Structure 1
Amino acid sequence: MKKIAIAALGEGTFKDEVSPVFGRSPVFCLATVLSGDLVSFESVKNSAGDIPCSAGAVSAKVLADLGVDCVIAGGFGPQSCGVFRECGVVPYAASGCRISEALERYLAGDLPSYDYSAVAGDLSGRNNVSGFYFGRRGVKPTQRSHVCGRCGYIAGERMERGDKCPNCGFMSF
């Protein structure tokens, strides 16, 4: 059995288009497939789509925690690719088509896996879900901030590995 996530525009129905970007996609369609047959299909709102930064990494972590085996979208950023690589989730590229077409192409084996070389940046995963060094309100350019992998909370102070999120208590830093 495989669980497939598809980044979608609109409400997350079969007729909606595949989102050109992964992290800022408004909704994810989750399809469960067994022996080439669709077993279940549901839509899940992307709760990380509106956070100020690291939306791709947070979205990737949420989907990996849901047990997704592969993800289909038009494009992926370096942080989401790093999380996918760490978690064993395979990204596939599909753009300019409907959800139903992308799913059919994947099941037929006609969908190419995403080319990591198309992504600029560090794919080592060491900076996943921990944010950038710049561009946050209230955070100095030299100060590192962190984003919680569960709730998206942005901690402006320095967090160490093993620290818990002050907002939800999840150990994600």
Structure 2
Amino acid sequence: MNMNTAVDHGLSVDGNVTGDAAALACKRIGELAEEFGVTLRTLRFYEDKGLLNPIRDGNMRLYTHRDQVRLKLVLMGRKVGFSLREVKQMMDLYEPDGSNVRQLKVTLEKSEKQMARLQSQRVAIDEAIGELSDAIGAVRSMLEHRAAGSATGQ
């Protein structure tokens, strides 16, 4: 949902749902799972870990716009290699009516450390690719040499 559509339907810019838009903005677990390409079990797990806090209507879970934004942040954090614990620490520092300076500083610090880890891993992966490429070349050369030897009757 783009922000213009969200505002038209009663969602505030900060993601809070207002008025009749609450029902429109909420999604059931299956809808959210499909939209984000995750399993129902994953969503329940994130709820158990305190990353998501859906509204309960009997046995039905309703995920608000806030939950949807949090899920997007969780998935992005996981994609770049943060643990769920780190993602939760960063999200828990959010203050709806505050400047969030502490959250931003912690997020920047953790992001810079993760960037350094990823760059280090990239170097190691590049080295491994080079070594594997050399090994593949050597094996191909041996096979070609043996194939040429058997073709000449040796």
Q: Please indicate the TM-score interval, normalised by the length of the shorter structure.
A: under 0.3
Larger helix percent: 2
| Length-normalised TM-score, structure 1 | 0.22
As a proportion of its length, which structure holds more strand?
Answer: 1
What is the TM-score of this pair, normalised by structure 2?
Answer: 0.24
Pick the structure with greater CA Rg: 2
